[in-house]
Amino acid sequence: MNESPRSPRFSAERSAAVEALLANVVRDGTSENRHFQNTKGKRILLAGVAIALVATGGAVIMQLPVADKSSIDCFARAELHGSRFPGTTVVLGEGTRVGEPSTQRNPIPIEDALAACRHVWAQHVLDPDAPDGRTHPSLRDGSSSYPVPDPLTVCVLNDGRAAVIPGDEKVCGSLGLALKTPTAP
């Protein structure tokens, strides 16, 4: 047996103490047995929670508000590799703000990420089968009549921007993102 200055040796006294403790746990009426019986309900509750998580696929939906509305990412499919994704980033017209020099460019905040990405889909800018998620410019639909996937879900990226991704609310958690909190009416 390796001796370490940090760990005490397992002596005969220690062995006897462990044996006595185990005997008290199984003997009715001892404080150790009562403690074991009292914690049994907690273990059953934890087991129930574990079963519920397994039954729901472990889906715990976290919600966050969109903090940065300067741009949004429209995903062609539910796939995320670090900061790379199949799709495109949308920025609404850059302009100058009142009181700033004309050389200062600022994006216009995007208030409705879902509507903006639906518009991108309707123009056939996105293609879920393309490696980069984008349609070749010659195939785009200027009439905005291309079918839009349903459902599309707004998630929140780690940098606080919105990401609109094909799929239901579970898609955010599957990619390690938060679901966008609903806005108050």
> What is the mean pLDDT of the segment spanning 116-138?
95
Contacts of 159 (CB under 8 A, 6+ apart): 68
pLDDT for residue 17: 74
Tokens of 36: 């074991």
Q: Model pTM greater than 0.85?
A: no
Write the pLDDT tens digit of every residue in 42-97. Answer: 566 556 555 655 554 554 568 889 999 999 999 999 999 988 999 999 988 766 55
Whether 95 and 175 map to the same domain: the answer is yes
Q: Does residue 7 fall inside a structural domain?
A: no
**What is the DSSP track for the chain?**
----TTS----HHHHHHHHHHHHHHHSTTSHHHHHHHHHHHHHHHHHHHHHHHHHTTT----EE---EEEEEEEESSS--BTTB-SEEEE-EEEEPPTTS-TT--EEEP-S-HHHHHHHHHHTT-B-TTSTTSB--GGG--TTS-SPPPS-EEEEE-TTSEEEEEES-THHHHHTT-EEEPPPP-
Location of structure tokens 């939906």: 61
The answer, yes or no, to whether residue 19 has pLDDT greater than 80, is no
Domain that holds residue 122: 63-180
Per-residue confidence (pLDDT) for residue 62, from 0 to 100: 81
> Is the same domain home to 108 and 76?
yes
Pair 70, 51 in one domain: no
69 and 117 together in one domain:
yes
Same domain, residue pair 71 and 51: no
Q: Is residue 108 part of a domain?
A: yes
Distances (CA, A) of 37 to 27, 30, 43, 47: 11, 11, 10, 16
